[in-house]
């Protein structure tokens, strides 16, 4: 089943297209890495598929129907948690604002990472704050999780912890990041954007196998860098 489909999706600011002619389909259960250079259109795509931005062209379907906010959970780049609230307060807020709230799933993610309900959000480390944001997204009961740079500003240990938590989620995940080596460990699909257009989209295995003879990138990192160099986006 297709979890996320974008059809000719585009967003223009004034005369400039941030994203253009974006048609992609991601299967249910896929872990998709969204990568590209700065300004490539990643956040724009994530905001469009979560309904936070209105498209200039095209549309989005989630699990076969027009986008509904309840089907998608979004963890924004700045993970805005109410800083003075405790983890328990945040979970209560999640329960009160989401009709499909699954307290058990949210709690078990936090328990697995030893984050106590009494902790205050502003006293958590960056990695712990990311895990709380992830727990709130999981608790929402949405089948599609969209994560905007969940690894940004995390130290190497916190990155490993967050990546493991993401890998263990029972959901379809679309996440953006610049840290290619980490993405390869948890993701099985890739969308590569460059200058607002989709340059690659598909399962890693298929993308690696489909390279022309003489262009045998062996890893996700090689594949992405090769395409960006060819497009003039990396030296
Ligand atoms: N509100 C806005 N008004 C005008 N232009 C915008 C706006 N938001 C984004 N853009 C432009 O759209 C393009 C894509 O931006 P976007 O934030 O989606 O890129 P990105 O791939 O997420 O970049 P980064 O990796 O730096 O976060 C950029 O040229 C950006 O300047």
Domain boundaries, the chain: 1-71+145-151+173-234
Nearest CA to ligand 1 atom 12: 18
- Distance of alpha carbon 46 from its chain centroid, rounded? 7
Write down the pLDDT at residue 96. Answer: 94
Mutate to test the pocket of ligand 1, among 9, 39, 153 (most ligand atoms within 8 A of CB): 39
Write down the pLDDT at residue 157. Answer: 84
The answer to whether the CB of 219 falls within 8 A of the CB of 184 is yes
CA of 42 to the centre of ligand 1 (A): 8
2-13 and 16-27 beta bridge pairing: antiparallel
**Ligand 1 in reach of 235 Cβ (< 6 A):** no
**Ligand 1 in reach of 233 Cβ (< 6 A):** no
pLDDT tens track of the chain, all 235 residues?
Answer: 999 999 999 999 999 999 999 999 999 999 999 999 999 999 999 999 999 999 999 999 999 999 988 889 999 877 767 778 999 999 999 999 988 899 998 998 899 888 999 999 889 988 888 899 989 999 998 889 999 998 887 888 888 888 888 888 888 999 998 888 888 888 999 999 999 999 999 999 999 888 777 767 778 888 898 888 887 755 4
In degrees to the nearest 10, what's the CA dihedral of 148, 153, 159, 163?
A: 0
Residue 54: helix, strand or coil by DSSP? coil
CA-to-CA dists, residue 119 to 47, 91, 112, 122, 159, angstroms: 30, 12, 15, 9, 21
Residue 163: helix, strand or coil by DSSP? helix
The count of residues in the chain is 235
> Superfamily for 1-71+145-151+173-234?
P-loop containing nucleotide triphosphate hydrolases (3.40.50.300)
Secondary structure letter of residue 78 according to DSSP: T
**Ligand 1 in reach of 38 Cβ (< 6 A):** yes
Write down the pLDDT at residue 52. Answer: 93
- Distance of alpha carbon 85 from its chain centroid, rounded? 25
CA of 85 to the centre of ligand 1 (A): 31
The answer to whether the CB of 148 falls within 8 A of the CB of 43 is yes
Write down the pLDDT at residue 190. Answer: 96
CA of 122 to the centre of ligand 1 (A): 28
Cα–Cα dist 30/118, whole Å:
34
**Ligand 1 in reach of 43 Cβ (< 6 A):** yes
């Amino acid at each position: 089943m297709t979890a996320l489909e974008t059809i000719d999706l585009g967003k223009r600011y004034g005369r400039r297209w941030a994203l253009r002619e974006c048609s992609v389909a991601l299967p249910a259960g896929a872990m998709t890495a969204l990568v590209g250079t700065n300004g490539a259109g990643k956040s724009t795509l994530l905001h469009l598929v979560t309904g936070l931005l209105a498209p200039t062209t095209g549309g989005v379907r989630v699990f076969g129907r027009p986008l509904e906010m309840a089907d998608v959970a979004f963890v924004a780049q700045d993970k805005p948690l109410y800083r003075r609230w405790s983890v328990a307060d945040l979970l209560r807020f999640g329960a009160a604002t989401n009709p499909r709230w699954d307290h058990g799933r949210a709690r078990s993610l936090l328990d697995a990472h030893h984050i106590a309900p009494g902790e205050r959000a502003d006293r958590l480390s960056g990695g712990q704050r990311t895990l709380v944001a992830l727990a709130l997204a999981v608790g929402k009961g949405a089948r599609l999780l969209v994560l905007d740079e969940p690894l940004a500003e995390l130290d190497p240990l916190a990155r490993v912890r967050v990546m493991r938590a993401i890998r263990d989620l029972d959901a379809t995940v679309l996440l953006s990041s610049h840290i290619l080596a980490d993405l390869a460990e948890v993701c099985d699909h890739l969308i590569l954007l460059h200058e607002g257009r989709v340059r690659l989209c598909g399962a890693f295995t298929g993308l690696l196998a489909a390279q022309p003879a003489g262009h045998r990138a062996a890893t996700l990192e090689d594949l992405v860098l090769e395409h960006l160099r060819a497009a003039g986006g990396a030296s």
